[in-house]
Structure 1
Amino acid sequence: MAVNTSSTLPLARVLDGARTAAPHRHTLTLPAPAAARPEAYATAALAALVHRYTGETELLIGRQRQPDAYESVAIRVTADTTAAGLVEAAAEAAADGSQAPSGRPAHAAVVVAGAPAGPAPAALTLTVDPAAGTVELHLDSAEFDDQAALQYARHLERVLTALADAPEGTVRDIALLTEEETHRTLVEWNDTAGPVPEPFFHERVAEHARRTPDALAVILPGARLTYRELDEQANQLAHRLTARGVRPGDRVGVCFPRSAESLIAQLACFKLACAAILLDSDFPADRIRYMIEDASAAAVLTLAAHESKVEGLAPVLALDTDDWRTEPVTEVSEPVGADDLIHICYTSGSTGAPKAVMVRFGAARNLIHSMSELCGMSSASQGTWLAAPGYGMIEVECFPVLAVGGTVHIPDVSVVASEYRLQEWFLREGITTTLLMKPMAERLWRLEWPEDTPLENIRVCGERIQSWPPAGLPFRLINLYGSAEATVVASCDISELGERLGEEGRARRLPPIGRPTTNVTIYVLDEDLRPLPPGLVGELCIAGVSLSAGYLGRPEATAEKWITNPIDPARHPIMYRTGDLARYWPDGSIEIVGRTDNQVKVRGNRVHLGEIEVVLTTLPGVQQAAVLARQDGQGDVQLTAYIEPDTGATPSVRDIRRGLGQRLPSFMVPAAYVVGGLPTSTNGKIDRAALPEPPRSRPDVDTAYQAPAGPLEESLHALWTKVLELDGVGVLDNFFDLGGDSLRAARLTELVREEHGVELELVDLFDEPTVERMAALVGRTAAAA
């Protein structure tokens, strides 16, 4: 059974193929056992098909009796309903026919040949001709194209045959796909096998250091690094780690901001056949320390400024103060296999603590090659490092560029949050390829771009893209899909596809994630792990060389997600269940439509809402909590925490926010808070559907309300109100206590730029986080201009 996400029938209004005023018609011959009860079998077959297509169990099947009116029969269908039972239910329901509930249309309809002519009562209609022993499928051509109509006819024929030939079988047992459809879905759409260069990433970098030693590998503000310098410094650091007792197979913490030191540290680990534990130096100390201890780090590499966050758990080497540069530059190259670990990447977990994904060298090698090929990268490529350093996105963004001998540019942190500064930086530095999280990509593609821009492509990742880019952009937009557990596994050039679909086609579908990348296999499966046809929603599952080795130290969680491949175990023994809900388009491209759990994406980061809820309940005065994700007025995901205090307790929002900030990354700290009793369902659990929208009123903060004074404060106050989507903001209130975050801060600085012509840095908002202090800064800056 497919998962029900909408009452709309699959493939409705999908394509822009030829349509006529007349409905699509397909005539099917009734199986011999159905000849005696043609209407009952036709009704049962429609009910079974609609159930398998939508997952709905309470169905209404229309029956036309007069030209302008029809009655309906209510039929309940589940996956375990038997064929014989469904036919009997259809016959009994027809005998007791009742009027359809007001306002609820029929899912499909059955018309007996010879009934009074009239408009079709449903988009999907069967006309039964008992004398001829046939049924004729009518599908509204205004909603379905020829290809969709053919699919419905094929599957209806298989359902009719199954009902007649296997009366004791269940609706679940009916095989919808024909052999041709099964082959297309499982084989043709997964024809991705391709060669991959044998050397691993660090070996390719070393090769460039030998062949083109003076070529630039890394450019960042005030510094440049050639391939010779990058490789030699990685060798020196590898020698120092060996002297400190690090051995092949160990795991080494790498805790840096985006920097050349981080690249050097990771290359040193790879040369020693060690896994680099990716740690973001901006994470709270408690979270970093948990990761180091959980991963059993043999050592931690960092900078002196971050030593206090990592000391005491493993030997620490600060690259900016240690004398490791005195080590020899001779090559270090321990043997590495495809199944050895290259990265330990932490991702949000549902139990209150993050979980570590073990990424294999072979998976990273395949990913790096596929990204280089996808973007047409070469030694002339000018790439970027914009993604947060604590995740595996460096394998997608930076490593493909370095693997082909190109140059990676690392901007100042002030550039990353502003689309205007980012565009200016792209053009100034001659960037040809980059990777962006969805919110920033959408802001960038709305800007005006010169026709001669050097930018060739933007890869977009992190969240579902919910709007098509404008036509005529001078670069390609490539939608990527993946996860830490399976790397990037699908891609789609949405700029090219959007132009090909045209305005009408784009209006009917969101941008897809495309097709599987090199050496990756993707399936869309039902709850019984059987392939689904186009249009039906199921779970996205992945097999192939891209899979990670599972979760470190969590065998039960690994066994739940990494299962024996039921489709092609000989070729790919293991299959990963993503938990993402998806469906095929008829051309084989894939669209993501949701999740099977309460996992969401926030600023491109995967977040288990349960992890935030667990941390909330550990804070003083909190009895229970729920967290929901909602879209703000700009379409960005914002988190809202609902808190029920302990009896007699009155926890302040400021204290709750501070407590969360000490244990969670900033993107996991909710922007809005609702304190009070939580609604419960009849089984005593929190009724999430009944949780209210967060109020627009000013939250509980420590400062007394003060109204704006003067035109400048009033103007800035209006901008704050717009960005924060709050009423009653005081000029002494802290922006971040009101739910502000980096995205909203960037939006605010751009509004200030547009309204007042003053360029503010993000750091200015951290330093001057109130309307009053911002007004003083804007006034001083404008006066000095």
Structure 2
Amino acid sequence: MEATILNNTKVDYPKEKALFDLFNESAQAYPDKIAISFHDRSLTYTEVANTANRIAALLVQKGIKKGDIIGLALDRTPEMIISLLAIMKSGAAYVPLDPEYPKDRIEFMLEDSSAKILITSAKYAGHYAANTTEVLIEQALAESAELVPEQPNTGVTGANLAYILYTSGSTGKPKGVQIAHHSLVNFILSCQKKPGITSADKTLAVATISFDIAGLDIYLPLSVGAELVLADSLTAKDGRAVLDIVRNQGITILQATPYTWRMMLEVDWDEKLPLKVFTGGEALAKDLAAKLIARSSEVWNLYGPTETTIYSIIKRVTDAEDVTIGWPVDNTQIYIVDEAMNSLTNGDIGEILIGGDGVSWGYLNREELTAEKFIDNPFSNIPGDKIYRTGDLGKLRPDGEVVCLGRIDHQVKVRGYRIELGEIEFHLGKQEDIKEAVVIAREDTPGYPRLVAYLLLKSGETGYASAQQLDAWQNALLAELPEYMVPDDFVLLDVIPSTPNGKIDRKALPKPDYSHIIRSDAYVAPRTSNEKLVADIWQEMMGLDKISMVDNFFQLGGRSLVAVKIMAKLEEKTGKRLPLATLFEHSTVEKLAARLDVNSELITWDSLVPIKPKGSKMPLYIVHGAGLNVLLFNALAMNMDDEQPVYGLQAKGINGIDEPLDVMEEIAANYVEEIINHDPVGPYAIAGYSLGGMIAYEMAKQMLALGKDVKMLAMFDTYADQTKVHTPPLKRTIKDAWFFVKQVAYTPILFIEDPKRTIEYKSREIGRRIAKVYKKAFPNKVKKKEGFAAYTDDIHEKSEMAQRNYLLTPVDIKIELFRAKKKTFYMDDFKNLGWLPFALKGVNVHDIPGEHNTIFAPPNDKQFARVLQECLDKAVK
């Protein structure tokens, strides 16, 4: 793929225009159309334009000139958007300040930007200590009411500054990104075409103005005459409330982070909506893409750092197995480079560089950092042309689409927010009792990232912090940082792990014990059915083993996405729907239980059985054998590494209600669905015992076809018994007869090795065959089994039928074969158990002690577990 083809994005556009000129054109074309809706209020384009013009004129009267800086700290109301337009119309650039951010952080931004004026509301009057003139929006509206509603002639063009937006900084201080009007005009006009928007659209804005994607929320609809529905801050955090607005108000476009989309999906969003989905802020996972594609009219994946104006690369996603970030927007150039700045066009992985009209002026008052990140464009002949080093890894596909592969450094995105982990570490390091701090983002539960702080204390204390310590650290961080930058978990270590070259080994940091969370001092057991219901749901959703009735949701580490799941579960159980905000006033189990008036218990018989669910390593999923019992895997699991999760898969129908499956492909598909529902991302390790090995083989085949990353397929003493159903009857009879002869001939060898075991096995086998013939010959004389025995017999028969009819076909995979050392019956292939023709990448054989039925029994389980763990660890390297 030639970079010149990828970067053939030059499009003429009115570079001299200011951003507000696009809004002015809409106001002229659609004067009486609704521009902004907020709760019960609706403002037309004329009303918004006139009010913005009056406030702009008032700002000019107060001495504002072109190039000045104005801070804006307002709650989410139409006046917030009007003020943004007014500031730009006055000639100034704005600094967006979310009032929910820490006071110290906002004051730093005001000081660093040298803001002349702070526009805020009476609610926050005198709240911020800064060297600025405070203008209250209520007074500004009153003072400007008599002014002529004409835009001041300030001479603003596309070359002037539109805003300064502060992002997390690695040195402990936020850094202000300076974006010019022409960069925003180019971006908005490009987005009008792709992803596309018209005056008939109705959009919903949920992003905080301190997040750069709010620029798309606000200015894209206002640039074409569309209606912008503004959500208040509480609504924007409640997935159910957002979904209600989309459903009830006919929203056609919604931009949100994957975190917000997942919140909406947790609350029973099942129907297809006429909604164009914009997802950005962090990586789009395949499982989320699949769900959004099924429920919306279009899904667009958008990528770009704040430094290159909101988004730089976009892609319409129509196939969940083909998620990339796509192609650059207009007048934007993308390069993948190696460390020597050579352009990589052959699919090699390198750093993503972004050039073009979206590149910002750099960081305010940070010349050294600006020079480091905004470098001379090595691919341009234009003097002074800059290109931005994103710090993201990527590659070019042969078709030219860009694939983003994550961060080079330790900058992360959690819940859609870009976070410099160094900033959190800097502020933790200022605490008197902390000697060293390392912060990482973990995603032990796929789709739900958590910030974890690992601390060395001066006292040498290890384990987990006390309630007093936790409160002190969290309060100290909240005074400096937004809530989304405060770690969810704190782990006390005696040493920070390091690599051989002395650097911090972040990959070696242990997974926290999420069940060890600071609680109330005394445990109070459930006293009513309602309390037990709530406690059970909290334990399930929050991954906790035991919850007291007086434990507080937020002190337990509760977050909004977990709250959405809890409320959705309560609604499912009781039929009573509670607002998400209920948790603020009823934040303990006993208080929330008091709001409920029904008792509902539900017993589930899922195929997926957690045997040893805790651990940070790649989980192992083991399919039952012919006996259907997954309990025998328990000893194996308990002897494996402490951080190794193990799950079993039991047959459908074991509850005596569901109909057992009798087709191998359907059995495998059922298990695959449960595994992917449990872990949508992977990678995966699949194993099967005896009959389960055949099922596991088909599961791996299906998962590979779905594009899933199957790191390991293991057979626990499973023979590749190829079906003879499609063999001609005569040939089948000859084969069976010849095999019987070989079995008989091999019996003396088995007898010499272990006469007692051979006699037991052969006697049982002969008895089983006689019983089978008798059952077929005299079905009415066979006593029918009842209960669990009947269920398992039925499942066993149908599983055998599935195996008889299953045709093994080669798969491009390697098999790890765990072969019992002790032989109890004849096999045509003792070495590879028949798997070599079907595993195209080969078979690795691991001998384990015991015979087919005792490989999981003590003391064999310990050696089996050790060999299996080594194999698993090697598979993920």
TM-score between the two structures when normalised by the length of structure 2: 0.64
Task: Tell me the matched-pair count.
Answer: 586
CA positional deviation for 1:197 = 4.1
* SS of equivalent to 1:523: strand
Q: Which residue of 2 aligns with 1:597?
A: 409
CA-CA distance at 1:418 after TM superposition: 3.9
On the 8 A contact 2:57/2:151 being kept in 1, the answer is: no
**Residue 404 (1) aligns with residue 227 (2):** no
Paired with 1:433 and 1:775, the residues of 2 have a C-alpha distance of 37
Output the CA distance in 2 between the equivalents of 1:515 and 1:642: 39
Residues 110 and 130, structure 2, Cα contact 8 Å, conserved in 1:
no
Alignment of 1:494 onto 2:302? no
Q: Is the 8 A contact 2:574 2:599 kept in 1?
A: no
- Give the TM-score, by structure 1 length: 0.71
Residue in structure 1 matched with residue 564 of structure 2 by the alignment: 746
| 1:355 maps to 2:175 | yes
- Which range is displaced more, 650-659 or 613-622? 650-659
Instruction: Give runs of aligned pairs for residues 29-428 of structure 1, distance below 5 A.
Output: 184-197=1-14, 199-322=17-140, 323-328=142-147, 329-428=149-248
Quick one: which amino acid aligns to residue 724 of structure 1? M
CA deviation map 1:142-187 (0-9, x unaligned): xxxxxxxxxxxxxxxxxxxxxxxxxxxxxxxxxxxxxxxxxx4221
Instruction: Indicate conservation of the 8 Å contact 1:696/1:727, yes or no.
Output: no
Instruction: Give the 3 Å change call, closer, same or farther, for CA 623–243 of structure 1 in structure 2.
Output: same
Query: Shift of residue 273 of structure 1?
Result: 1.9
Q: Paired residue for 2:277?
A: 458
* CA RMSD, Structure 1 to Structure 2 (Å): 2.3
Q: Mark the CA change 1:740 to 1:207 in structure 2 (over 3 Å): closer, same or farther.
A: same
Q: Aligned with 1:575: secondary structure?
A: strand
Q: Tell me the equivalent position of 1:611.
A: 423
Instruction: Measure, in 2, the Cα distance between the counterparts of 1:758 and 1:324.
Output: 48
Say which SS state the counterpart of residue 292 (structure 1) adopts: helix
CA distance in structure 1 between the aligned counterparts of 2:173 and 2:537, rounded to whole angstroms: 37
Contact kept in structure 1, 2:56 and 2:151, CA below 8 Å: no
Mapped pair 1:709 → 2:709 = no
Name the SS for the 2:72 alignment partner.
Answer: strand
**Which residue of the partner structure matches residue 595 of structure 2?**
777
Higher relative contact order, chain-length normalized (CA < 8 Å, sep 6+): 1
Q: 1:728 maps to what in 2?
A: 546
User: Unmatched 5+ residue regions in structure 1?
Assistant: 1-183, 499-505
Bigger shift: residues 764-773 or 583-592:
764-773
Match of 1:484 in 2: 306
* CA distance in 1: counterparts of 2:184 and 2:436, whole angstroms: 41
Q: How much does 1:691 deviate?
A: 1.6
State the 1:562 CA deviation. 0.3
SS in 2 for 1:310: coil
Deviation at 1:530, TM superposition (A): 0.9
Mark the CA change 1:743 to 1:321 in structure 2 (over 3 Å): closer, same or farther.
farther
Identity of aligned residues (%): 32
Partner Cα separation in structure 2 for residue 776 and residue 320 of structure 1: 41
Alignment pair present for 1:469 and 2:306? no
1:655 partner amino acid: A
Residue 444 to residue 702, structure 1, CA distance change in 2 (3 Å)? closer
Deviation at 1:752, TM superposition (A): 2.0
- Alpha-carbon spacing, 1:569–1:697, altered in 2? closer, same or farther (3 Å): same
Residue of structure 2 equivalent to 1:635: 447
| SS of residue paired to 1:541 | strand
The question of whether the paired residues in 2 share the 8 Å contact of 1:343 and 1:360 is answered with: yes
Pair 1:516-2:328 in alignment: yes
Equivalent in the alignment of 1:531: 343
Change (3 A) 1:423 1:586: same
Could you tell me how far apart the structure 1 residues matched to 2:599 and 2:209 are? 33
Letter in 2 for 1:522: I
Distance apart, 1:690 and its partner CA: 2.5
Residues 622 and 441 (structure 1 numbering): CA distance in 2 closer, same or farther, change over 3 Å? Answer: same
Q: Which residue of 1 aligns with 2:397?
A: 585
Distance 2:374 2:18 in 1: 25
Q: 1:781 to 1:193 in 2, by over 3 A?
A: farther
- Residue identity in the other structure for 2:432: P
CA contact (8 A) 2:182 2:357 kept: yes
Report the secondary structure of 2:189's partner residue: helix
Q: Structure 2: 5+ residue runs without aligned partners?
A: 601-877
Of 454, 461, 470, 1:653 maps to 470
Aligned letter for 1:707?
A
Cross-structure match for 2:754: none
In the alignment, is the contact (CA less than 8 A) between 2:13 and 2:186 conserved in 1?
yes
How far 1:330 moved relative to its partner?
2.4
Matched, 1:671 2:492: no
Q: CA deviation at 1:415?
A: 3.6
Equivalent positions of 1:412-451 (< 5 A) are 412-442=232-262, 444=264, 450=271
Q: For residues 648 and 321 of structure 1, do their structure 2 counterparts lie closer, same or farther at Cα, with a shift above 3 Å needed?
A: farther
Aligned in 2, Cα 1:531/1:755: closer, same or farther, shift over 3 Å?
same
- Do 1:653 and 1:701's aligned partners in 2 also have CA atoms closer than 8 Å? no
Equivalent position SS for 1:247: coil
